Amino acid sequence: MRIDVVSDVICPWCYIGKRRLERALSAFEHADKVEVQWRSFELDPHAPPVRQEDLTARLARKYAITMDQASAANQRMTALAAADGLPYRLEAARPGNSFNAHRLIHLARDHGLQDQVKERFFAAYFCEGQAIGDAHILQSQATAAGLDGTEVKELLEGDAYAHAVRADETEAAGREITGVPYFLVDGRFAIPGAQEVDTILAILRRAWVKSAVLWEPGPR
């Protein structure tokens, strides 16, 4: 059974959704038969590699709210993340373009390291104040997650996997996905948003039963 997860490395709910999916899978009886694939989605596709304003200022400007309101929103998100064991430091987050990060995540898939690279990028951005759009940061974080440094450097200097990122985004648009995270289980069961663990687990079990019914041999 496959789970396709549409997400962005600069989406705070996406990291929370990853943790909740992991907890659901830890309780799922057939987790060893599940393959998770991370699909690309850009929340800020026209961003420069690194924005000069911090995340609080970015939120205030984007949603036309005060700095105090934006700061309070970050504090609420930090508390939510902490409940899932994630030590967010949103005041230190450095927003920017995530396109190259997504290209590296596709590279990582070919090496069986997609989850490790996705996790490292999430942690770097949300918990460590790293600028995930900066090529030097991407180089160090991707190699720390296990990718070959030379291969990472060559990717960042070229356009490898750009088509794969665009294909993911085209498919997401075709499914009318406008918010992330978005989980698609077995190609048929959608989970929009970072749902609670019990909700995710229930859908996994339902998908497994439906899949088993579909594959049952008919009468001879």
Q: What is the pLDDT of residue 180?
A: 98
* CA dihedral of 59, 102, 1, 206, whole degrees rounded to 10: 10
Q: What is the pLDDT of residue 220?
A: 44
In a domain, 110, yes or no: yes
In a domain, 35, yes or no: no
Specify the CATH number for the domain of residue 74: 3.40.30.10
In a domain, 91, yes or no: yes
Domain span at residue 95?
9-22+44-176
Taking CB atoms within 8 Å and a gap of at least 24, the contacts of 14-17 are: 14/122, 14/180, 14/181, 14/194, 15/81, 15/86, 15/122, 15/126, 16/80, 16/81, 16/84, 16/86, 16/194, 17/181, 17/183, 17/193, 17/194, 17/195
Q: What is the pLDDT of residue 216?
A: 47
Identity at 111, one-letter amino acid code: H
Q: What is the pLDDT of residue 213?
A: 58
In a domain, 13, yes or no: yes
Inter-residue contact 137 to 131 (CB < 8 Å): yes
Report pLDDT digits (tens) over 97-142: 999 999 999 999 999 999 999 999 999 999 999 999 999 999 999 9
Q: What are the residue ranges of helices labelled H in the chain?
A: 12-27, 55-63, 67-83, 99-110, 114-128, 135-144, 149-157, 162-174, 197-215
Q: What is the token pair recorded at 49? A: 């590699």
Query: Which residue stretches of the chain have pLDDT < 50?
Result: 214-220
Nearest alpha-carbon partner for 7 in 193, 166, 211 = 193
